[in-house]
Every structure is written in C-alpha cells, then in structure tokens.
Amino acid sequence: MSYIRKNWVGLLAILVSGIVFLVPFAFIILTAMKNQKESSLRSFSLPSQFHLWDNLVEVIQTRNYMLLTAFVNSAILTVCSVTLLVIFAAMVGFVLQRKPSVWTGPVNFLILAGLIIPPAVVPTIWVLQLLGIFKTLHGLVFIEVAYGLSFCVLLFRAFIATIPRELDEAAIIDGAGPLRLFFEVILPLLKPVVVTVIVVQSVAIFNDFTNPLYYLPGTKNVTLQLTLFNFQSQFNTSYNLLFTNILLITIPPLLVFLFFNRQIVAGMTAGAVKG
Amino acid sequence: MSSKFTRTVLGGLAASLLLSASFVGTAMAADVTLSFLVDNTDASTVKVAQALVDAFVAKNPTIAIEIETRPGGGDGDNIIKTRLATGEMTDVFLYNAGSLFQAINPAQNLSPLTAEPFEANVIDTFKKTVSVGSDVYGVPFATAMGGGIMYNKKIYADLGLSVPKTWDEFMANNEKIKAAGKVAVIQSFADTWTSQLFVLGDFYNVLAAEPDFPAKYTGNQAKYATDKAAIKGFERQEAVFKAGYLNPDFAAAKFDDAIRMLATGEGAHYPMLSFAAGNVVTNYPENQKDVGFFAIPGDDAAKNGLTAWMPSSLYIPKSSEHQAEAKEFLAFVASTAGCDAQTAAVGATGPYLIKDCTLPADVPSVVADLLPYFQKDGGTAPALEFLSPIKGPALEQITVEVGSGIRSAADGAALYDEDVKKQAQQLGLAGW
Amino acid sequence: MNESTNTSAVKRPRRRPVSAYPSWFYLPAAIVFGVLFLFPTFASLFFSLTRWTLFDAEFIGLANFAQFFKEPFLIKGLINTLVYAVVTSGLKVVLGFLLGVLLTSQIIARTYLRSVLFFPVLVSTVGVGITFTVMMHPTTGVINETLALFGIRGPGWLTDPSLALISVALVDVWKGVGLATVIYIAGIVSIPQEYYEASRIDGAGAWDNFWNITLPLAKPATVTVIILSLIGGLRSFDLIWAMTRGGPGFTSDVVASVIYKQYQAGFYGLSTAGNVVLFILVAIIIIPLSGFLNRQGGEQ
C-alpha cells in the first residue's frame, strides 16, 4: 500500500502515458491485422481473423517490391544527409559561437531565415537541373542538408556555449591547429547534442514526404513515405493495407530509437555530471 | 532552356534513326521501354491501364511499358505541372481533358497528334476537349461518364417511387424516403471532390435555359452569383441540407462509405459520376442490380438530360524520346482492340469515345440506365469544364461549405466567381 | 561573452597566424545553403512579382500581393495560423517543462516514460495524420466510441468547423511534446547540483526549488522550445494537410495551406507571393520575440 502511495505519481504517469501514447499504436497494429472489409469499419477491436501476414506480403509485393527499393533509398538518403549535416553544422556553430565577427549578425539572420522561409520548389528544381543532380539521390541529399542546416546550427551553437574556452586555449597552446581542435577536442564533447541532432534529423529526413515527392520523381527513386500514397487513394482506401504500410514504416525508426535510447539517456546524464 | 532543346534534338534524331531502321527492315530488335504515368485515385484506373499495356505488349513484344502511379486530385495536378515544367515527364501520361488540359500549356508541352491516322477513330466531341485551335493532343482513356444521381432501386420499389423528372418531384421523393426512416441523400464530404455534383451536374439544365452561357461565362459576362439558372445548383445543394435529408455522418463519410450505404440500401440517393458503377460491381456485386442512375432534374420535365463528362486522356509530352513508340501505344488505345481490352478488365462503365467500339450486351445496372441518355439526340450536354477553359480550383471546398450549412448558397456562388477570376487571369483570357 | 568563473589562471594566447576559428569553416555549409536555398528563394522573390505559368512570366508588379490580401480566407487563414502556432507552442512549452521536471525526478519507470513520450516524434507525420483522422471519426472513431461508453457524445473533432483546427493542434502537440521534453531534460539536467544542495541546506522545499532554481535556470531550454515550436507552428502544413486539407470547407486553412492550394492550382506567381507574405509574418513575430527572450535571460 505504501508502495502505491509513494509512487502514485509514477503509476499514474504510466497509466496516462499508456492511454495517450500507446493506444494509437495499438490501433495501427490492430487495423493492420484485419482484412479489408473489417478494417473499413475503423473500430478498435480485435480482428476476427489474423491477416497480418497476408497484408504484409501484399504490401511488400505491391508494384514490384517497391517497399524494399524505397527502404534502401530512404536509408541511404538519411545516413548521407545526417552525416553531412552533423559535420557542416557543427563547424558553423563552432566558429559562430567562438569568434564573434562582422559575419555573426548576417549568419544569425540567415539561420533564422532558413528556419522561417518555406523553400521554393520550382526554382530549386531548375538549379538542380543546371547542376545535373536533379532526380538523383545525391541531389536530394544536398537538399536535405540545405534545409536542415539552420536547425542543426542553432542546436550546436547553443551547446558549444557550454564548453569552456579554456579547453580550446589549452589545446591551442599544445599546438593544435583548427582541424585538430575541432575534431579531437570539441566534437567529442558535443556528444549529447550530436546524438540529439542525429536522432531528430534522421527521423525528419526519413519521414520526409514532400521533398522526395518533388525532387526525386520516378519509381526507381521512391522513398518510404511515398509508398503511403500508393494506398491512400481518393477512392478505394484499403485501411488494412494502409496501416500495415504505416506499421512497416515505423519499424526502422523504432529500431534505431531502441538502439540509440541508451545513448540519449547517457548523453543527458553526462551533462548532469559535467554541470 | 538549352538542355531541353538538346534533348528535343536528340529525341528527334533518335526517333528518326529508329524510323529509318524499321524502313530498312533490318531485324534490329529495338527494345524500347516506355514510361506511362497513371493516376491511382481509383483502383480501376490502374487496372485499365495495366490491361491496355498487357494487351499492347502482347502484340508488340519489342516495346515494354512501365507504369508509374501518381496521386490524383490537386496533388496530382501539381506533379503533372511540375514534371512538364522541368522536362521530366514520362513518355505517355494520363490526365484530364477540358479546362485542366488547357492549364498545362499544351501547345508548348505536348506533341500534337492531329495528323496521326488513329485520331480519325476518335469521336469529335472528345477531340474538341483535347484541342488547342485546330491541333489535337490526346486520345480518350476509359469511357465517358455522366454526372447525376445514383439511386437505390429497391427503396424506390418498396416505397412506390418513380424516377423524378423535375426537381420538385425529386424533393417529394426525398420527403417520403426520410419518412420511411432511410437516408434520403448521401453525401461524403471527407472526400471533398464528391461534393460538387449538385452544382456541376446541374449544367445540362443551365445550358437548356441559356445555350450561350459558356461563351458569356468565359468572357466574364455571366456569373454564378447573378445568373438565375446557374445559381440553382448552389441553391439546391443548400436546400437538400436545410431539409435535413443528409446522412448524419455526411461531414466525415468518404466515397467508399457512401457507396456502401447506397448499395446496401441504407440511403436512397447519391449524387455522383457514373464511373462509380465500377466500385459497386467490384465491392458489392450481389447488390449491383439494386443501383440505378438518373440525371439531375431541372424545373422542366420536358427538358431533362444528363451532364456528361469526357474521360481522361492520354498525352505525349514533347520531351519524350520515344515519340514513335508512344504513338503506337496511343494508336492501340484508340482502336476497338483497345476498347475490348478495357472492357475485359473492368467491365462496361459507359460509352467509349472511339468509333466502332462496342459494349457487351450485359452491362451493370447503372450503365444500363446511363446509356439511353447518350443514345438519345440531345440527351447529354458536356459539363462546363469542357466548354469553357475556366474552372476555379476551390469549388469543392465551397460546395462542402454550402452543403454543410457553413455558407449560404448566394455567398458560395459569389465566392466561386472570385475564385474563377484568378484562374481566368492566370490563363490570360480577355475581359478579366 | 560571459567570462568563465574558472579560477585557473590562463593567459590569452598570443595572436597566431592561423586562427583556431578559421572562417573557412563556414564554407561547406555556405555553399550548399546558398546554392540550394538562398538562390532559389531570391529567384522566387522575383517570380512573386509576375504572373508565372512556369513557362513564361509576365511582370505584374504588386498585383499578386494585392490579390493575396483580397483572398477571402486570408484573414481567417492568418488568424488560424496565429491560433495554431500559439496553441501548439504554448502547450509544448508548458507540458514539455512539466514533463521534463517529472522525468528528471526520482520516478519509477523513468526510462520507459521517456521512451514512450519521445516515440511519437519519430513516427511519420503522414502516418500520424492518417491514424488520428481515422480515430477521430465522429461516429465510428475510437475516441468517440470510448466517450460513448461513458455516455458522452463526442464532438465532430475534424468535421465541426469550429473544432477542426484545434483538433489538429492537439495531435501536433501529441506528436511534438516529446521533443520539447527532451530539450528540457537536457536543460534541467545541466543545472549544477550545487544549487539544489545549497537550497536544501537553506531549508527550501520542493516547490521553492522548482520556482527559484529549475524554472529560471531552464531558461535557455525554454527559449529554444518557444522559438522552435512557434516557427514550426506558424509554418505548419504537413499535419493539417494530412488530416483536414484545410477543411471542412476552409475553416482549418492556415497561410501555408492557402499557399499550397494556390500552388496546386497553378497560380505560381501568386503562391510565391504568399510565401513572401508568410516569411514576413513569421519574421515580424519571431525576430523581436527572439531578441526579447535572449536579452531577458541571457545564455548561461
């Protein structure tokens, strides 16, 4: 009894979190297990027959295994974009925070601009065509980097502020040049925010829907979010297949998250020790 | 754009090389793969496309065709325009005829097909909707449709009702149906495009009252808000809502829900395009005989006819590098063999716009009700979007508002006129 | 720049020929950003002054902007945008902070709670939109059916014109509060334990700690969350589009969806003008706000 009284907040939190956050996912799974007619009734009920395997097979087989191609494309896109983002943004955030100069004001403004201004699709396509990288995965990688820079620089700049300058100075006295200083001293200390950036940006790019739609047209180039479109058609919505698709799309981030979760937690608590 | 020019030149060279090779008659198996962009809004569209492709490839083994899908509706319009603008369109693509066709700058982007022999097979009324001046650009895909009211024959039989020839008769029927505890009029506003039928499907009646409406409308001389005949569509949509004839979940129901309600006898009337017969046949085959179709009635029983929609069309962009092969595919589609392939895939859904194409004797009940309108002289009139290049993009949201009681009919009509103005200006029409 | 309170006496290094913070570090990011973002944006500024069919552009001066402001739903769209941004941002800040405090305290199943809270951030927006649209169906949706069990007649979450926008906002918060919480956790966790120990010696209770230590010292995190969620809210499009497409009718339209609809309709110049308007709107709100917030609290 006293266990409950001592931990009532926690227990309540578990209950509420279960209802608020787990029920929608339960709904996705339940609907993915039904056949088409049952799923169109939209109810939160157990399926009369377990169709999950059939649905999975059908979804994966659609349009010549589009889902598998999409998965590969999405994975490559995410990994490449995030790698470049982390390096480029950290470099900018580092110099921005450490060396106030005449550039600082304009750069801050550009960061805000990058967050605020919605991208202009067609002129961007023309630029990509001029450079010969339209309809290519690497073209889209650069797009994602361009659109993601502002957010990442913002995060990096904020957290670099918490690294004492003395560490820089010590390293410089030891004879480190800018590259060694950056990669060997600063970057390791940025681990918590690097992890956050990787997680958030990976998810954003992995789930990105509109950019691949415009900049990477064509069946060979499809990404995972576009496969959702295959099923959400105007007339014949097969809810069971639609939700199987959502389920499948959710699994990679789930796996990555389960894997990174410990890192995130570790990163946060490392901050506590440091503080 | 120099790259586009280069591509056109290269395309031309490639095409002429291929043509000359075939003339020389060398056994060069030119394995060409065409790409074909189809919208996936309706499962039957993809099925028909696949059937045509399969039948064509069986006859022409040296040509392969890959189908790509795109969404329909506004998102699809967007993709079509963007891909055309950037020269990244597939070799053949499916898109609407009429005003939407006008909006993709056909003279600049598409290959004219006027001189092609297969265009002689296409019925003139269709050709007009895919032409700019005297140049024809498309070939019809699937069948023509009518915009009217699908109804449940069983409810009619049970309540002793007959097909209404005037709007008042229609409303009287509704009253009786409501009294009997059934839904009188089904609406599915979650799919906003379905809300437009009362306005758009009424056009036969507008044209009967004012034959010169399209010309005046295009010239900014007639407006929905002030034209007595035209505003009726909006008023009727409002009236049906106000009388409480709608299904309780009208705001969240989707197209599929509506078809279910209609086929299973939960509701009596559903204003819809006749292609929906395909859905009834596919999803509720046992109820197929219970669903019929009639045109939206006007005020005059003598002038009762159907507003007809032209089917979508296949086009070839100028940027395609396989012009000859693409034209061969279109030639197949515009032939009786093409029609038969389509009928075999999804059954009969309406009349074809290719000469000499026939329908089987056994057609779904909706189609059987539909055909007499097309067979009678003056039984159909094209919808406004095929007689005027202007169609405002926000109509479906406006009709949802009018049909849900959020906005009055008069306001809705005025709003639509405003919406249409942008489209007219974008097209650079005179008088706006 | 704040001076560190570190007591080790280190002389400032002498000027070296190669700075430890070279300006060329800006270069890779600058190239990508400039070519693929700035340049097209400027190009679109030009096109916003034209009637653009993508194939040719006819210069019409400010006519697009006049048209945009005459757009019947613009005022409603503007109001909706502000409402949406303030509601989502406000909820994310308040809930995120409270959850951050909760999840940095000694609570059972803390790891589970953090995970389950953060997970929606990872799921595809379109997927979330579809799922909740189905769950919010007025008669057969899970939410209203559950309410019916308690005898409550659930409203038309997405079909009631006055409720649609707020419903989407709530889903947005559902999806995004995890990220706000994580940012707060990072901020709270970096507050030096000495403060808490000192206050405990002074005899302060939990509430005092919360009010006098945690809240003020989490300010950088608060500022970050406010700014990011407000910008996101003002520009929000994907979720609204996935759930209501601006409907029913036009009642949940925000500026971003109005712009998108014009783009869809092929009014490219007009849509681009709308983009410019949106940019100015966001700038007018965010820049002064960000200045104010940063001046107030300052960085640590």
Report the pLDDT value the prediction gives residue C4, as an integer from 0 to 100: 45
Model pLDDT, residue C299: 44
From the list B95, B35, B97, the residue with the least C-alpha distance to B66 is B35
Q: What's the pLDDT score for residue A230?
A: 58
What are the pLDDT digits (tens) for C168-195? 999 999 999 988 998 888 888 878 888 8
Q: Which of C92, C87, C84 is nearest to C181 (CA)?
A: C92
Q: Answer whether B88 sits within 8 Å of A135, measured CB to CB.
A: yes
Residue B225: Cβ within 10 Å count: 17
| Residue B136 near residue B127, CB atoms below 8 Å | yes
More confident site: C66 or B12 = C66
What residue ranges do the domains of chain C occupy? 22-61, 72-299
- The full 3-state SS of A197-221, as one line of letters, equals HHHHHHHHHHCCCHHHHHHCCCHHH
Alpha-carbon torsion (C14, C18, C24, C25), positive or negative: negative
pLDDT at C18: 61
* For residue C88, pLDDT beyond 90: yes
For position B22, what pLDDT does the model report?
Answer: 40
In chain C, the residue whose alpha carbon lies closest to the alpha carbon of A201 is C122
- Alpha-carbon gap: B138 to the closest alpha carbon of chain C (Å): 21
Nearest to A172 among C13, C40, C130 (CB): C13
pLDDT at C148: 87
| Pair type for strands B183-185 and B267-273 | parallel
pLDDT per residue over B229-287, tens digit each?
A: 999 999 999 999 999 999 988 988 888 889 999 999 999 999 999 988 888 887 888 99
Residues of B in contact with C67 (CB under 8 A): 422
pLDDT digits (tens, 9 = 90+) for B143-167: 999 999 999 999 999 999 999 999 9
Question: Of A145, A120, A245, whose CA–CA distance to A201 is shortest?
Answer: A145
Q: Given a cut of 90, is residue A252 above it in pLDDT?
A: no
Q: Chain C residue with minimal CA distance to B425?
A: C51
Tell me, what's the pLDDT at A235?
37
* pLDDT at B317 exceeding the cut of 90: yes
pLDDT at A248: 85
Task: Name the more confident of A23 and B11.
Answer: A23
At residue B57, the pLDDT reads 92
| pLDDT confidence band for A42 (50 / 70 / 90) | confident
Location of each CATH 3.40.190.10 domain in chain B: 15-143+311-360, 145-308+381-427
Rounded to whole angstroms, how far apart are CA atoms C39 and C283? 19
Q: In the CATH scheme, what architecture does the domain A63-274 have?
A: Orthogonal Bundle (1.10)
Q: Does C51 touch chain B (CB under 8 A)?
A: yes
In this structure, are residues C158 and B249 in contact, taking their beta carbons and an 8 Å threshold?
Answer: no
Distance between B130 CA and the closest CA of chain A, angstroms:
24
To the nearest whole percent, how much of chain B has pLDDT over 90? 53
Per-residue model confidence (pLDDT) at position C53:
67
Q: Which helix (H) or strand (E) element contains residue C261?
A: helix C255-264
Our measurement of the distance from residue B83's CA atom to the centroid of its chain's CA atoms, rounded to an integer in Å, reads: 22
Cross-strand pairs, B267: B183
A–B CB contacts, 8 A cutoff, strictly below: 58
* C81 pLDDT more than 60: yes
Q: Which residues contact A230 (CB under 8 A, 6 or more apart)?
A: A62, A63, A66, A245, B40, B69
B78 to C264: CB separation less than 8 angstroms, yes or no: yes
Q: Which of A183-197, C43-57, C137-151 is modeled with the greatest confidence?
A: C137-151
C117 Cβ under 8 Å from any chain A Cβ: yes
pLDDT in the model for residue C33: 94
Residue B389: CB atoms within 10 Å: 19
Pick left, alpha or beta for residue C139 (phi over 0 → left; psi -120 to 50 → alpha; otherwise beta). alpha
Backbone angles phi, psi at A158, to 5 degrees: -65, -40
**First-residue to last-residue Cα distance in chain A:** 37
Say yes or no: B220 contacts chain C, CB-CB below 8 A. no
Tell me the nearest-neighbour CA distance from A124 into chain C, angstroms.
5
Give residue A220's pLDDT: 61
Residue A59 has pLDDT above 90, yes or no: no
pLDDT band at C280 (very low <50, low <70, confident <90, very high): confident
Q: At how many degrees (to 10) do helices C39-47 and A121-131 cross?
A: 130
Contact A234 B85 (CB under 8 A): no
Inter-chain touch A134–B42, beta carbons under 8 Å: no
A217 pLDDT above the threshold of 70? no
What is the fold of C72-299?
A: MetI-like fold (1.10.3720)
Q: Is the pLDDT of residue B224 over 70?
A: yes
Q: Which helix (H) or strand (E) holds C217?
A: helix C215-217
pLDDT at C300 over 70: no
Q: What is the mean pLDDT of residues B334-360?
A: 88
- Which residue on chain A is closest to C273 by alpha carbon? A120
Between A210 and C79, the more confident residue is C79
pLDDT score at A41: 74
- The per-residue pLDDT for B181 is 92
Phi/psi for B84 (5° steps) reads -65, -40
DSSP code string of B278-294? HHHHHH-GGGGGGEEEE
| Each residue's pLDDT tens digit, C31-65 | 999 999 999 888 877 888 877 766 667 788 888 88
How many whole angstroms separate alpha carbon B429 and alpha carbon B58?
46
- Give pLDDT tens digits for B93-137: 999 998 889 888 899 899 999 999 999 989 888 888 899 989 999
List of chain C residues whose C-beta atoms are within 8 Å of the C-beta of residue A44:
135, 142, 145-146
Q: What is the ipTM of this complex?
A: 0.78
Cα nearest neighbour of C67 on chain B: B422
Cβ distance of B88 and A236 shorter than 8 Å: no
Distance from CA of B121 to the nearest CA of A (A): 31
Q: What is the DSSP letter of A21?
A: I
Contact list in C for residue B81 (CB cut-off 8 A) is: 54, 266
User: Is the CB of A35 inside 8 Å of chain B's CB atoms?
Assistant: no
Least confident range from A83-87, A210-214, C100-104: namely: A210-214
- For residue C248, cis peptide bond before it (omega within 30 degrees of 0): yes
Q: Does C263 contact B78 at a Cβ distance shorter than 8 Å?
A: yes
The top-scoring range by mean pLDDT among A184-198, B38-52, B184-198 is B184-198
User: pLDDT value at position B92?
Assistant: 95
B251 in C contact zone (CB under 8 Å): yes
Average pLDDT, chain A: 79
Which tens digits make up the pLDDT trace of C110-134? 888 888 888 888 788 888 888 898 8
- Inter-chain CB proximity B69 and A40 less than 8 Å: no
Q: Which two tokens stand for residue A168?
A: 């820089």
Which residues in chain C have their CB less than 8 angstroms from residue B109's CB? Answer: 55
Question: How many Cα atoms occupy the beta-carbon half-sphere of C18 within 13 Å?
Answer: 11
How many angstroms away from the CA of A33 is the closest CA of chain C? 15
Question: Domain extents for chain A?
Answer: 63-274
Q: How far is C161 from chain B (nearest CA, A)?
A: 8
Say how far apart CA B261 and CA C170 lie, in whole Å: 32
- Secondary-structure class of domain B145-308+381-427 per CATH: alpha beta
Nearest to B281 by CA among B26, B44, B12: B44
The rounded distance, in Å, linking the Cα atoms of A5 and A101 is: 57
pLDDT band of residue B384 (cuts 50, 70, 90) is very high
The structural architecture, per CATH, of the domain B15-143+311-360 is 3-Layer(aba) Sandwich (3.40)
Q: Which element (helix H / strand E) includes B309? A: strand B306-309
- pTM over the 0.90 mark: no
